[in-house]
Structure 1
């Protein structure tokens, strides 16, 4: 009896310790994600000060830019589980960590160059997509400067993954927070021509974003070079040295992550396009609901990133019990948070919409009614959205990215968009039908990902050698 009681106490202690470690890792990642979202939000506000046409051109450019950027982010995100697994296998694995960070930068350069070439022809792409020629030209002028921000941002992402895998994410958090002010200041100066600078409009906004992203990369580079907790890794040493085995491993793990993130982001881009086909009121309501859902998603996203690190470190150490604790702890936290945000959206939809629109204005009533309905549906898909994000993060910690990519493609585009089009255009549900499709699509990804995690031991995910053990 004493032994059983002792084991029970030890088990509770292990779960409590895991919860504390996950929370300590996750909350700075959540704040970092929110700060990165604030960068784009700040730019959008200032574009609106120029006028509605500039705002439209800016949003058009950002959507194209982000479609490429999210894929590139996914590829270099492979550095997070790779470093975590290496540190789990050998706590002081300086050389292997340096190899992965270096090849993360190599991958960032590799993927940025073709993206630059494509975005160099942004105006032709916008015209090909049927956009207004004047709007396309203005959006292309913005893209001409904005595209140069991709490489420094990817460099920052690699360093953020490095400090996160070491479970010291606060450095990236503070850089991200201060970058919001840096971005706002330089965008304002170059966009409106302050302090003797020329008034460049949207092109100035792109220059400000480039400077802010350079600040994030150089700030993180300075921290990892001089902080005693990081400098022993000598990350910039022999940067030019090729490491093709590690480079291939990174692409093998990262390419499916990039495709998965692209599937996820583009389904929401497509849903906005579909809402616009239904009418301006549904599109405006969609913009409100998706903004609220996006803010709420930052917490599960941070927990997903934390789960990748915690699972990866346990996996690298060969700690089977630790793998389960790390994954299920993050998953439980995400579901708890989803229950809270779901309740708020279901019960306080109208006050939330009131933050965006005047509730007593008769001209807003059509949008308000639709937005409240969409927030109800957003409340329902909180569990699926949180579940798919964290389950994917848990599986990444095991180096499992190819099958989740297939689930994402089928769930988001085969099920989600397919059902949304049917319900949105062939039934009276209209915009609500598209959001029902989103909800079902997210669930169609979350359920098999969670099931795959639950069967991880049975299908051999925890017993195969870590991805870089051969490198």
Structure 2
């Protein structure tokens, strides 16, 4: 999971050397991508609990059917999302963003949008692999993709080793090529593994069951909305920062990219919760389900505290990774961006725990195939509580960028508390009754 964000981290650091306008443009372009990615990644998570449950039951046919139908729906969704981002590009000019930033962002977005298709296909294979507890193979594929991305970025952003100097477009080329390689390499790894080979070969993708399509969709669509509601609130922070100006938007991108990396580590624990809870659901061992889930809550929260301390200690130094202080023309802008980003990292440090709790709780609830109530919770937390706070404090008070992030903190905290209580209540009811019939 961290590997997805490392791609953006590398892009941001390398593009940041070109200037704050280029960094803001990458931020704006990726904000459209984040929304589409959230829907694709969120939908694909429906595959994992179904595979985990079938794996625990030893039911190969059920598992392969779940994967095949999930892969088919992910491919359809990916095609629609790519088209949707292309059609939505003109909205950039209507969102009160700096025109110079929009002009830079559009060519970058063209190539990165195409990379969305292989990314979501990869995600379908990844969620399947996770469901079989084969979590190393997606990690290997992601590591390879990141190495490819770094090399191609260096070549095409700065014009090294005989390649043309393409600036931001070079970063987009690196992202696209690395994502194609990522999905091909993961398929190759799964093909070589005896446990997974029967699943990833002889896939009759167009021989489909209406009942199974409905089952995957009913799990995937609410899961997609859950991730969409969260990513959209962070995207709203990007857009609101753009209204404040180029430098606040660049600072927001730095703080967002750093906090996204720690969030992806928490997402890894969320996947672990989804797999193990799905296993125990298949075995109907509900006391073990609770024990495993609370162990993951404890471990991930300890790690969140470590990340919070890291942000507090190094908030002044971390923004410097993204900025080029050797350029005298950009020195004033870079100093302002670094100062603002350091302030935002204070808030990011505080919400490490609530962000971790809410995403791990979502993973555990998905493992129990409980998705409808959590979807309502995430909407209320982010858009009824969080967004009004960030909108008012960010645009109508002197808090500015800090006010936007205080709204994020409020939404994440409410989400974390309510989702944890939902899991505790639901799993306790199952453990006490010893039957799945307790889930309404």
Aligned to 2:50: 82
1: CA distance, partners of 2:100 / 2:389: 35
2: CA distance, partners of 1:71 / 1:300: 18
**TM-score relative to the length of structure 1:** 0.81
What's the CA shift for 1:248?
A: 1.2
Contact conserved, 1:315 with 1:466, CA < 8 A, in 2? no
Aligned to 1:61: 29
Q: After superposition, what is the alpha-carbon deviation per residue over 1:347-367, rounded to whole angstroms, capped at 9, x for unaligned?
A: 554455565677xx9987765
2: CA distance, partners of 1:144 / 1:368: 29
What's the CA shift for 1:161?
A: 1.4
Is 1:249 aligned to 2:215, yes or no? yes
Aligned to 2:328: none
Q: Which moved more, 1:394-403 or 1:332-341?
A: 332-341
User: How many residues get paired?
Assistant: 431
Contact conserved, 1:123 with 1:136, CA < 8 A, in 2? no
In structure 2, the CA distance between the partners of 1:310 and 1:450, relative to structure 1 (3 Å rule), is same
Aligned to 1:394: 364
In structure 2, the CA distance between the partners of 1:61 and 1:375, relative to structure 1 (3 Å rule), is closer
What's the CA shift for 1:294?
A: 2.2
Larger radius of gyration: 1
For structure 1, the 5+ residue unaligned runs are: 1-32
One of 86, 92, 97 as aligned partner of 1:126: 92
Aligned to 1:405: 375
Is 1:159 aligned to 2:131, yes or no? no
Q: Which moved more, 1:141-150 or 1:346-355?
A: 346-355
The DSSP-based 3-state class of the residue aligned with 2:370 is: coil
In structure 2, the CA distance between the partners of 1:297 and 1:244, relative to structure 1 (3 Å rule), is same
One of 245, 258, 272 as aligned partner of 1:306: 272
2: CA distance, partners of 1:451 / 1:364: 43
Aligned to 1:442: 412
In structure 2, the CA distance between the partners of 1:185 and 1:353, relative to structure 1 (3 Å rule), is closer
What's the CA shift for 1:163?
A: 1.9
In structure 2, the CA distance between the partners of 1:224 and 1:335, relative to structure 1 (3 Å rule), is same
Q: After superposition, what is the alpha-carbon deviation per residue over 1:62-114, rounded to whole angstroms, capped at 9, x for unaligned?
A: 221221122111111111111112222x1x32211111111121111211222
Contact conserved, 1:81 with 1:399, CA < 8 A, in 2? yes
Is 1:179 aligned to 2:149, yes or no? no
Q: After superposition, what is the alpha-carbon deviation per residue over 1:268-299, rounded to whole angstroms, capped at 9, x for unaligned?
A: 12123333444566545434433332222232
The correspondence of residues 416-427 of structure 1 with structure 2, limited to 5 A, is 416-427=386-397
For structure 2, the 5+ residue unaligned runs are: 326-330
The DSSP-based 3-state class of the residue aligned with 1:167 is: coil
Contact conserved, 1:122 with 1:140, CA < 8 A, in 2? no
Aligned to 1:274: 240
In structure 2, the CA distance between the partners of 1:224 and 1:348, relative to structure 1 (3 Å rule), is closer
Aligned to 2:11: 43
Contact conserved, 2:9 with 2:257, CA < 8 A, in 1? no
What's the CA shift for 1:465?
A: 6.2
In structure 2, the CA distance between the partners of 1:344 and 1:188, relative to structure 1 (3 Å rule), is closer
Q: After superposition, what is the alpha-carbon deviation per residue over 1:232-261, rounded to whole angstroms, capped at 9, x for unaligned?
A: 335443233212221111111111111111
Contact conserved, 2:41 with 2:120, CA < 8 A, in 1? yes
The correspondence of residues 258-407 of structure 1 with structure 2, limited to 5 A, is 258-278=224-244, 282-352=248-318, 370-407=340-377
In structure 2, the CA distance between the partners of 1:237 and 1:278, relative to structure 1 (3 Å rule), is closer
Contact conserved, 2:20 with 2:250, CA < 8 A, in 1? no
1: CA distance, partners of 2:197 / 2:351: 43
The DSSP-based 3-state class of the residue aligned with 2:194 is: coil
2: CA distance, partners of 1:400 / 1:155: 24
Contact conserved, 1:105 with 1:155, CA < 8 A, in 2? yes
Q: Which moved more, 1:364-373 or 1:176-185?
A: 364-373
2: CA distance, partners of 1:364 / 1:53: 10
Contact conserved, 1:108 with 1:151, CA < 8 A, in 2? no
In structure 2, the CA distance between the partners of 1:62 and 1:374, relative to structure 1 (3 Å rule), is closer
In structure 2, the CA distance between the partners of 1:317 and 1:132, relative to structure 1 (3 Å rule), is same
Contact conserved, 1:102 with 1:236, CA < 8 A, in 2? no
In structure 2, the CA distance between the partners of 1:116 and 1:366, relative to structure 1 (3 Å rule), is closer
Contact conserved, 1:73 with 1:154, CA < 8 A, in 2? yes
2: CA distance, partners of 1:141 / 1:398: 42
